[in-house]
Amino acid sequence: MDSLSHRLIFIRHGETDWNVEGRLQGQRDIPLNGRGRDQAASAGREARKYIAREGLTDLRYVASPLSRTRDTMELARGAMGLDPKDYALDPRLMELSFGRWEGLIWPEVKLLDPDAAKAREGDKWLFQPPGGESYAMLADRLRPWLATVTGDTVVVSHGGVARVLMAMIGGIPVSEAPLMDIHQGRALIFQNGGRRWL
């Protein structure tokens, strides 16, 4: 596990129609739906209360460059009373790539690629979908980004990124991190080697 001396306020992007359908989005650029937009604003309001309660100042704001994360950041910042457009993008925060499985639902994956689907169940952290990334590979992508976190930061990213951060800085074993539920419309605080939901 890596150490992080600052606080991360992590917000997963709001809901998309593919989330509702159970489709593997990965790095496909799928927009928020109406509920997702509401979730983004709600997460911003909760983060604003937390930031005020904790007396945090000089926060950095950074998002994955996909439209669902950019829109979530802008709606959250608007709900926080901030300029919606004043934040940075970092491609290292993009979602885990599911490669050729993107766009499929799990029953389709199991029908089309049963051996690989079974292998994934055996070790979700190390399994690499065809043409995609493993969680371990995503951790390698995120490690240099974490090294740039030099102050308290609000980050808007994806469920896979949150799971990897849980293993890297949140105190969750790599065997359990890929199984964690990552809520939309709530902020997740990483601090002092642990994590908690707002």
pLDDT tens-digit profile of 121-164? 999 999 999 999 999 999 999 999 999 999 999 999 999 999 99
Active site residue 121: no
Q: Nearest-CA neighbor of 72 among 165, 184, 179, 162?
A: 184
Mean pLDDT of the chain: 96
> Is residue 48 a part of any domain in this protein?
yes
1-54 residue pLDDT tens: 566 889 999 999 999 999 999 999 999 999 999 999 999 999 999 999 999 999
CATH code of residue 28: 3.40.50.1240
Asked if residue 153 is part of any domain, the answer here is yes
Q: Is residue 84 part of a domain?
A: yes
Residue 3 maps to a domain? no
Structural domains counted in the chain: 1
On whether residue 132 sits in a domain, the answer given is yes
Name the percent of the chain lying above pLDDT 90: 96
Domain assignment of residue 2, yes or no: no
CB 172 within 8 A of CB 190: no
Check if the beta carbon of residue 122 is closer than 8 Å to that of residue 90.
no
Average pLDDT over residues 176-189: 95
Question: How many angstroms separate the Cα of 143 from the Cα of each of 56, 58, 148, 167, 169?
Answer: 24, 23, 9, 12, 10
Indicate which residue of 46, 74, 95, 133 is catalytic. 95
pLDDT at 185: 83
Exposed, middle or buried: residue 141 (CB in 10 Å: 0-12, 13-18, 19+)?
A: middle
The verdict on whether 21 is a catalytic residue reads no
Query: Per DSSP, what are the bridge partners of residue 62?
Result: 88, 155
Residue 1 lies in a domain: no
DSSP-derived pairing of the beta strands 194-197 and 153-157:
unpaired
* Residue 134 · residue 101 · CB < 8 Å: no
Q: Please check whether residue 95 lies inside any domain of the structure.
A: yes
Q: Which two tokens stand for residue 141?
A: 């992508």
Domain boundaries, position 131: 8-197
